[in-house]
Structure 1
Amino acid sequence: MADLFGSIETNATPPERADAPLADRLRPRTLADVVGQEHLTGPDGAIGRMVAAGRLSSILFWGPPGTGKTTISRLLADAVGMRFEPISAVFSGVADLKKVFAAARDHARIGQKTLLFVDEIHRFNRAQQDSFLPFVEDGTVTLVGATTENPSFELNAALLSRAQVLILRRLDAVALEQLLARAEALIGLPLPLTRQAREALIASADGDGRFLLNQAETLYSVAITEPLDPAALSALLHRRVAVYDKDREGHYNLISALHKSLRGSDPQAALYYLARMLTAGEQPLYVLRRLVRFASEDIGLADPQALVQCLAAKDAYDFLGSPEGELAIVQACLYCATAPKSNASYAAQKAAFRTARDTGSLMPPQNILNAPTKLMKDIGYGAGYAYDHDAPEGFSGANYWPDDLAPQIFYTPTDRGFEQRIAERMAWWDARRGSDEAE
């Protein structure tokens, strides 16, 4: 899918098609016209430096839709005098690639270098990605790939090692406002919106310039006599669906943001990311599983009720379904965000498991072994076991560790929440255990 963005001057050469979409008519003519990506296209940016040197390396553009990947690639080829050859991984196969490479070699013989632009490059399988390598290495093509997905996950390591990854930013409000102003200059009419509605239109674009211009074009195509307010604008335009792939990086980014907001005890941010996921179509049970995990990993015994709340929210959602059951998920989220935090249980698990793997063959002390047979009793199983309920204060202070393993400390409760009381209990037991050993 092609994208942008920037503008043309009003005295620029008219487009060939007067009926072309507004976004295409506003396609920039030079890299200087591109908005929102100055960190790349400016004099100190990677693209600016390449153009100044007149020499390109292979590039992978990574960024959300509507931020300029296709347009920048085309302008980059123009800026350094290269032949621009675009293909899409959605519509192209091995036969198409062979034709592209053959044509690139023919042009190379007459001194014409080829910039091969591959849109949605992550959609090529691993074997297809490998097919680029020899032609990139021998200089037949300079590869410029575009992807909305994290290259670390979607592209071969060999391909990544031969290309520079450049990150395109989602367009901010300033850049999107520039696009609207340029659209108004091209059309010769202001958008029929109040100031608040204009701000709402920009916010609805979620950083996607093409989407914004398509919405602006819709407004221009409708007879509107009075400027629309936000409510009227919302009624006229279709609601934008959140960009969210449940099996891709967006999914992992948001669940990471939710988890870390909970850990940082920010209930407002946690609720925001929870809402982002649920309104974008995430499975509520997936979110609930993560909340249950969080209750054990990051709260633990600092507030034992956190795990109860999360499991109760799961039961409530199972019982009510959507949308009523989502309120229980919100309740669990807010409980976890505002609960005292401790990873002492999590740290204890990792330490205990590590020691168990290292010492897994050690026999427990005989005094705490069961002796269901006479033979086992005769060889000392259970001999000398101190029954704690019969001991003073219900505590015997006996040793429960294998003879060849010194007592270990895995769990160290914090001084937060309920763990403060647990720490007091453990200190009380340790004091008596120490006095028993001294005697």
Structure 2
Amino acid sequence: MALVYLNELEYLEDDFNGMFDFDEFEDDNFGFDMNGHLHEDIHAELLDYFDNPERQQNDTSATEYRNGKDIQGIPWERFNYSRDDFRTMRLNRYQNFESLSIPRDGLEKEWKKIEKGSMFYDFQFNTRVAKTSIVHFQLRNLLWATSKHDVYMVHNYSIMHWSPLLQGCDELLNASGPVVPTQKSYGSSTLNRVQICTMAVKDDLLVAGGFRGELICKYLNQPGAIFCTKLSEDDNAITNSVDIAQSPSGAVRVICGNNDCFVRVLDAEKFSLLNRFPFSWSVNSTSFSPDGKLLAVLGDSTDCLIADSQSGKVVSTLKGHLDYSFSCAWHPAGHILATGNQDTTCRLWDTRYLSESLAVLKGNMGAIRCIKFSSDGNFMAMAEAADYVHVYDAKVGYSAAQETDFFGEISGISFSPDCESLFVGIADRTYGSLVEFNRRHQYSYLDSYF
């Protein structure tokens, strides 16, 4: 992955104008100027509207949404553009980031035909109390739910906890200063001012990766961080991905993919390094298969790899993508692997028949930055870099989908473990928020036609 912040992507400035403005981070270049998606006239009015203290808690409930309020609380009636008009402008103006200039002409023939309009999850709540932020524009695994009442997200240097039940947000970990590990173990060390760019949470364990190769591990029920380290001293060793999974023996592992071209596997009890697998390109995303035997490895290559999780030996090479990949997820049954790419597609692979992808799912605007399956395997959520989240019905071969659009960069998506809720993080100073959807149990495929 490119070692850049968003404000270094100068060619995007004509399309985006000032959505993000973390003035407090100017001293270390943590902040970035996403050059917001809104037309400058609308953006100026929105800043004036939402900077009013009386509107800081301008949340949106399901009832208000049904009565016509915008899902993000954007007052479209104040502007010369309708929401639909601006959506059209946005689609026409958005420039997807590409690392490779391989022609995309042949992709259209591969796109799977999708029946859009299904409603699997209903909008429940949008809050500005819980905010998320993004360090690196290509990394979007910054939001996780451990229950429908517990959501964890990255905001600036902090990891925050949001309770939909209590409608409250509190700080779980602050990495703006020294982060001192509470457990004395080999390789553990104090870290300082960690810019968290990726995260994973499972059960009681939270793992966060830093922009300079850091790794922080924390138990949710204990104060402080239990383990901290720098995985590499390489100047370009961004911790691009972290994963928490079980090995074939049932032991819990922490898997890290770094920009220095290594995948590292750590024991989650003593946090000792068990394996270090080298690859020929920067590793952007990794994931253990549900049985713990296979390891998906994606990065700065058009190829996606499947390796043996114990030896790191590549057993399959998946070909079809046209750019670099940044997200992957296994279906809970273990046979289907989904990979997200900057060529604006998600490819589904059946590990029993890997000569070609099972299906190619197309985004509307940009790179597919985050993919999650529900724990029951019924749904797959796919987030583009900005504006769009798609939820596919796995039971009907991913041919039916619910499509929800916002305005803003998507920092992460997460199903709750019971599959009852789906959370979406929108990173933006003006109207950034956390959006909650609740599962609709009595849905019908006829919903697609009404």
Q: TM-score, normalised by structure 1?
A: 0.24
Bigger relative CO (Cα 8 Å, ≥ 6 apart): 2
For normalisation by structure 2, the TM-score amounts to: 0.24
Larger radius of gyration: 1
**Structure with the bigger percentage of strand:** 2
Bigger helix share? 1
